Structure formats: C-alpha cells, structure tokens
C-alpha cells in the first residue's frame, strides 16, 4: 500500500490547502524576493503565471495547480525560505512594540526620559521630552495626535538604529 492510501481524506485536503497557501505566499512576493527562492522551474513558471492573472477564478485555479506541483516536491525548504523572507517584518514588529512601550512610559511618567537616554545614549533628551509634553498636551486638549505619532516615529527610529549598531 502507498503512503497516500494511509492518509485520511481530511488530512490530504489539509495538506493541499497548506501547499496552496504556501503557493499564495510565493505569488505575493516581489519579483526580487521571488528570484531569491530556490524552486523547480515548472513551479517558478506557475507562480509567474498566477501573478499575471487578475480574475479571481483563474487565480484560484492556478493556486490549486501550484499546490499540485508542490505535492510532487519537498516543499519544506521553500517554506523555510519564505519564512526567512518574512522574518524581517517580525523583527520590525518587535521594534515597534518596544517603541510603543517606551512611548507609553514616557507619557505616564516624565522622569522616564532619563532612563530612556541611559539605555539609548544617541537619543536627544530635549526633543523626546518636548514631544512627550506635546503629546500629553494634545491628549488633554483633545487635539489630533500629531506629536503623539511623531514621538512614536522618533522612538522607533532610535530603537532600530541602536539595534543595528549593537546587535
């Protein structure tokens, strides 16, 4: 008996859906990112075709075809390469969470500026203090959160630059 005979129909459908989703991830990549992914030429052609299709049904059928092609190869390495391409966005999200936490602490306690500057010596304490005070004032006056947003962007930039210099 073949291995396929031992796998339930539900499990087979789940595997096909996962492969189609992996194929959709490949289709969503930019041309430059796609060129870096190692895959068989037939799969690369099918992904290129799917990128050209604009009609929903044609795209759906092409994704099914990509899933069928991926059943015949080991899709694990392709999945790993795709995950590696998306990893920077996870790192970016982590930086944003750190910046958001600092912004909230700066708004809650003006004394936090000293702690922030101690951890990130390249930061301008006067600018951060000014933006935090402006953001608190915006909130009290129910004005649009311009300085609140600018404070976040400044903090995120400092956190990212610091991470680049001190890995």
79 within domain boundaries: no
CA angle 132, 133, 138 (to 5 degrees): 95
* 18 shares a domain with 67: yes
Q: What is the dihedral of CA 125, 129, 131, 134, to 10 degrees?
A: -160
| Rounded Cα–Cα distance for residues 41 and 75 (Å) | 14
- Same domain for 103 and 37? no
Give residue 151's pLDDT: 93
- Decide if pLDDT at 165 tops 70: yes
Q: Tens digit of pLDDT for each residue in 71-117?
A: 888 888 998 888 888 777 777 888 899 999 999 999 999 889 999 99
Instruction: Give the residue from 81, 92, 88, 71 showing the smallest Cα distance to 34.
Output: 81
132-156 pLDDT, tens digit each:
999 999 999 999 999 999 999 999 9
* CATH number of the domain encompassing residue 114: 1.10.60.30
The whole model's pTM is what?
Answer: 0.52
pLDDT band at 1 (very low <50, low <70, confident <90, very high): very low
State the CB neighbour count (10 A cutoff) for residue 135. Answer: 21
In terms of residue numbers, what domain contains 124?
Answer: 87-165
């Amino acid at each position: 008996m073949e291995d396929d005979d031992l796998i339930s129909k539900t499990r087979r459908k789940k595997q096909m859906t996962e492969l189609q989703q992996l194929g959709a991830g490949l289709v969503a990549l930019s041309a430059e990112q796609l060129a870096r992914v190692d895959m068989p030429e037939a799969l690369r052609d099918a992904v290129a075709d799917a990128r050209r299709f604009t009609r929903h049904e044609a795209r759906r059928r092409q994704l099914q075809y990509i899933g069928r092609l991926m059943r015949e190869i080991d899709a694990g390495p392709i999945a790993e390469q795709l995950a590696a391409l998306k990893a920077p966005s996870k790192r970016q999200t982590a930086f944003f969470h750190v910046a958001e936490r600092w912004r909230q602490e700066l708004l809650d306690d003006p004394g936090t500026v000293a702690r922030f500057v101690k951890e990130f010596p390249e930061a301008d304490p006067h600018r951060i203090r000014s933006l935090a005070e402006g953001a608190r004032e915006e909130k009290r006056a129910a004005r649009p959160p311009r300085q609140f947003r600018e404070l976040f962007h400044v903090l995120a930039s400092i956190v990212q630059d610091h991470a680049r210099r001190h890995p």
